[in-house]
Amino acid sequence: MTDTRTTVQPQAVTLTVPSHPRFLYIIRSMLYPLAVDAGFGKKGARHIVLAVDEACSNIIRHAYGGDPDKAVTITVLDEPERFVVSLRDYGKKADRSAIAPRALDDIRPGGLGTHFMAVVFEAVTYDTSLEQGTLLTLDKQKQQVKT
């Protein structure tokens, strides 16, 4: 008997939204089902969404200085062994030397976005070599799918 199933090649899903916080729900609404479809449980998918939401908030706050008229582009790639989320902005380049989470015992609002990203994703990279802006890539290995 011949196997008639076709191999599905990974496809990237890309969405661009304005850099206003009110549009972040669109990114969350797109990302959650993609993470669940990739094999992450509901809790794991919520963690992915929270980390990406924090990254988007950082783009709005730091790269664009709160300007709501810029663009944030998210690309999600569901590969067989990894789940990759890329965020592209065209604002102020990220200063990698200044990117660090605050101490967890420093109880106050804000400052935990980079901590969430580092906990949820195995690799967090900032590409500032682009002519304008930053490309943030968040990479999660699927063999660690548990929740």
* Domain CATH for 115: 3.30.565.10
For residue 47, tell me if it sits in a domain: yes
Label residues 72-81 b or e (16+ Cβ within 10 Å = b): bbbbbbbeee
Task: Give residue 100's Cα distance to chain centre.
Answer: 17
Q: Is residue 6 part of a domain?
A: no
DSSP one-letter string for the chain:
----PPPPPP-EEEEEEESSGGGHHHHHHHHHHHHHHTT--HHHHHHHHHHHHHHHHHIIIIISTT-TTSEEEEEEEE-SSEEEEEEEE-SSPP-GGG--PPPTTS-SSS--HHHHHHHH-SEEEEE--SSSSEEEEEEEEGGG---
Per-residue pLDDT at 26 = 98
pTM: 0.83
> How many domains is the chain built from?
1
Distance separating alpha carbons of residues 6 and 69, to the nearest angstrom: 42
Which positions of the chain have pLDDT values less than 70? 1-8, 95-112, 144-147
In a domain, 1, yes or no: no
What is the domain range of residue 65? 12-96+110-144
**Rounded distance between C-alpha atoms, residue 60 and residue 72, angstroms:** 8
Amino acid 82: pLDDT: 95
Q: How do residues 50-87 score in pLDDT, each as one tens digit?
A: 999 999 999 999 999 999 999 999 999 999 999 999 99
- In the prediction, which pLDDT does 108 show? 44
Judge whether 72 lies within some domain.
yes
Phi, psi of 82 (to 5 degrees): -150, 160
Query: What token pair was written down for 57?
Result: 């908030």
